[in-house]
């Protein structure tokens, strides 16, 4: 969709739809022409619109403006909206307009008080509007009719040059989210490790500053990635490590490491059959890394970024790892595998060691749909944020608060480490039923003690289960990209 910023006088602004968000307590903005105000006031007085939250009402051929329709949107009884409520409202309106005849919609920024500045409203508003228009129709035999809405304009009475840039940033983040959603929604028979490698190569060809390296399963085994190989060898699909390096600046890089389990049966520790189809989303961490790389490239951020995706299928083939097997990781530490369904931490631990040994990053953030325990703890609203550095943890949490892609801080205390003790190896890959998300993070921390590191457990946020809304969410691309943009702005 095309986005624009305008301060053209409303009587001259041609559009199919002029959107006026109003609370039940607010008065009509002075920016509306008198004739339009009178029409809307009469409509409200007649009882056709109350301003209740979520209410929408159409007025056709309104007097005083060039737009062919007015859409009144109820914001409830609050005179000021918080940012999250504003974004939800905007997303709902965008979804509504996707099914209508309007080709060009104009959102009036001046009619609503939001506890965020205009640049934030336009930036995050563009992102949410674009995300609401997302569709995944690749596998339908008859492609549904395309949405009519092609252009969205944010209108502000006074000119503001910064709003155009803000909208561009929002659209770039939405493009990253869309890529993450596309990868997540693909079926596992089409989206497997080598497919992800191919998509990385495509990105490398598209963006000049992005280079791509693929480490095959055989190469990984030869290098000493015993934990990664233990997972990958259970499938006839070859696993691989995908390394994408973006050089927008010199110096030590920041690194993103994504879990790319393109399908997770649980291995020999087989999962229950119910909802197992959703295990195609177990590469949500990898998808978010791909999406973040795309946004960084689109915005040409002045940062040095190394993104690593550990891609594999977790299958119960005859060559699959057994519970009780002991493997040696790239770091030299040994792991007793008690449950083959705790495979994400196994592919990640070797990827974490690899990026530290080869690229010497100043910061490492891994992202993974790691544990069902995280879903039990936090549900689907917030991703768990673990970090061995308070400043890094807070920076990620703040990025989430800014975008509405929220996280929640979790403990990484040494007290939990004893749950990983093994009588036969340096550690075991599960810590028992208590604090499952925490002990998984503690396992990964053993491979990232010497670097500023954070772990995002996105098992509850990477996709929506069941019903018509089922599908990949694109999270935490907004959080990650806001963190990276902030990092770039800090120099």
Q: Is 69 an active-site residue?
A: no
Q: Which two tokens stand for residue 174?
A: 């939405």
Residue partners of 117: CB distance under 8 A and separation at least 6: none
Residues near 331 by beta carbon (within 8 Å), at least 6 away in sequence: 349, 350, 353, 447
Buried b (16+ CB within 10 A) or exposed e, 45-84: eeeebebebebebebeebebbebbbbbbbbbbeeeebebe
Q: At what angle are helices 118-132 and 83-98 packed, to 10 degrees? A: 40
Residue 116: other Cβ atoms inside 10 A? 17
The answer to whether the CB of 430 falls within 8 A of the CB of 421 is no
| Residues 357, 448 contacting (CB under 8 angstroms) | no
Contact between 77 and 23 (Cβ < 8 Å): yes
Q: Hey, is 240 helix, strand or coil?
A: strand
Three-state secondary structure of 302-355: CCEEEEEEEEEEECCCCCCCCCCCEEECCCCCEEECCCCCCCHHHHHHHHHHHH
User: Is residue 25 reached through a cis peptide bond, with omega within 30 degrees of 0 on the bond before it?
Assistant: no
Sign of the dihedral through C-alpha 381, 386, 389, 390? positive
Backbone angles phi, psi at 314, to 5 degrees: -105, 95
CA 421 to mean position of chain CA atoms: 34
Q: How far apart are CA 285 and CA 330, in angstroms?
A: 21
DSSP string, 135-162: ---TT-SSPPPPPS--EEEEE-SS--HH
Paired tokens of 227: 């934990």
Instruction: Report residue 306 CA to chain centroid gap.
Output: 18
Torsion of CA 331, 335, 341, 342, to 10 degrees: -60
Helix or strand run (H / E) with residue 182:
helix 161-185
Q: In what order do the strands lie in the sheet with 326-328?
A: 326-328, 334-336, 427-428
271 in catalytic set: yes
Q: Among the options 92, 165, 168, 271, which is catalytic?
A: 271
Enter the DSSP assignment of 24: T
The helix, strand and coil proportions of the chain, stated in percent and rounded to the nearest 5, come to 40, 20, 40
Rounded CA separation 241/237 (Å): 13
Q: Which one from 280, 345, 406, 482 is the annotated catalytic residue?
A: 345
Q: Report the catalytic residues.
A: 271, 345
């Amino acid at each position: 969709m095309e986005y624009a910023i305008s301060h053209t006088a409303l009587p001259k602004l041609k559009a199919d739809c002029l959107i006026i968000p109003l609370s039940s307590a607010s008065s009509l903005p002075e920016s509306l022409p008198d004739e339009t105000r009178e029409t809307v006031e009469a409509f409200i007085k007649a009882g056709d619109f109350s301003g209740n939250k979520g209410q929408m009402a159409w007025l056709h051929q309104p007097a005083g403006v060039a737009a062919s329709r007015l859409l009144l949107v109820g914001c409830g009884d609050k005179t000021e909206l918080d940012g999250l409520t504003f974004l939800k409202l905007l997303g709902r309106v965008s979804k509504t307009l996707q099914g209508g005849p309007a080709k060009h919609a104009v959102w009036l920024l001046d009619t609503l008080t939001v506890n965020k500045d205009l640049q934030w409203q336009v930036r995050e508003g563009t992102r949410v509007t674009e995300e609401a228009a997302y569709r995944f129709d690749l596998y339908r035999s008859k492609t549904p009719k395309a949405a009519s809405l092609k252009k969205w304009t944010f209108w502000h009475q006074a000119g503001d040059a910064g709003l155009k840039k803000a909208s561009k940033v929002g659209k770039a983040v939405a493009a990253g989210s869309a890529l993450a959603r596309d990868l997540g929604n693909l079926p596992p028979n089409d989206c497997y490790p080598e497919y992800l490698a191919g998509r990385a190569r495509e990105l490398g060809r598209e963006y000049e500053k992005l280079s791509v390296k693929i480490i095959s399963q055989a190469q990984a085994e030869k290098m000493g990635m015993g934990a990664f190989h233990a997972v990958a060898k259970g499938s006839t699909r070859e696993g691989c490590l995908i390394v994408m390096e973006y050089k927008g600046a010199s110096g030590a890089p920041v690194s993103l490491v994504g879990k790319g389990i393109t399908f997770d049966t649980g291995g020999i520790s087989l999962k229950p059959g119910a909802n197992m189809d959703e295990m195609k989303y177990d590469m949500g961490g990898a998808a978010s890394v791909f999406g973040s790389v795309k946004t960084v490239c689109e915005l040409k951020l002045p940062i040095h970024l190394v993104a690593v995706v550990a891609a594999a299928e977790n299958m119960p083939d005859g060559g699959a790892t057994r519970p009780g097997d002991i493997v040696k990781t790239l770091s030299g530490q040994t792991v007793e595998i008690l449950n083959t369904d705790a495979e994400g931490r196994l592919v990640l631990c070797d990827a974490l060691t690899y990026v530290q040994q080869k690229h010497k990053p100043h910061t490492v953030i891994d992202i993974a749909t790691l544990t069902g325990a995280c879903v039990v703890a936090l549900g689907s609203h917030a991703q768990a944020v673990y970090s061995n550095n308070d400043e890094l943890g807070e920076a990620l949490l703040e990025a989430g608060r800014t975008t509405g892609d929220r996280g929640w801080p979790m403990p990484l205390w040494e007290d939990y480490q004893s749950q990983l003790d093994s009588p036969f190896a340096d550690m075991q890959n599960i810590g028992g039923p208590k604090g499952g998300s925490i002990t998984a993070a503690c396992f990964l921390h053993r491979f990232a003690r010497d670097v500023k590191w954070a772990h995002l457990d996105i098992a509850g946020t990477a996709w929506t289960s069941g019903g018509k809304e089922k599908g990949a969410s694109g999270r935490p691309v907004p959080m990650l990209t806001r963190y990276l943009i902030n990092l770039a702005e800090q120099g």
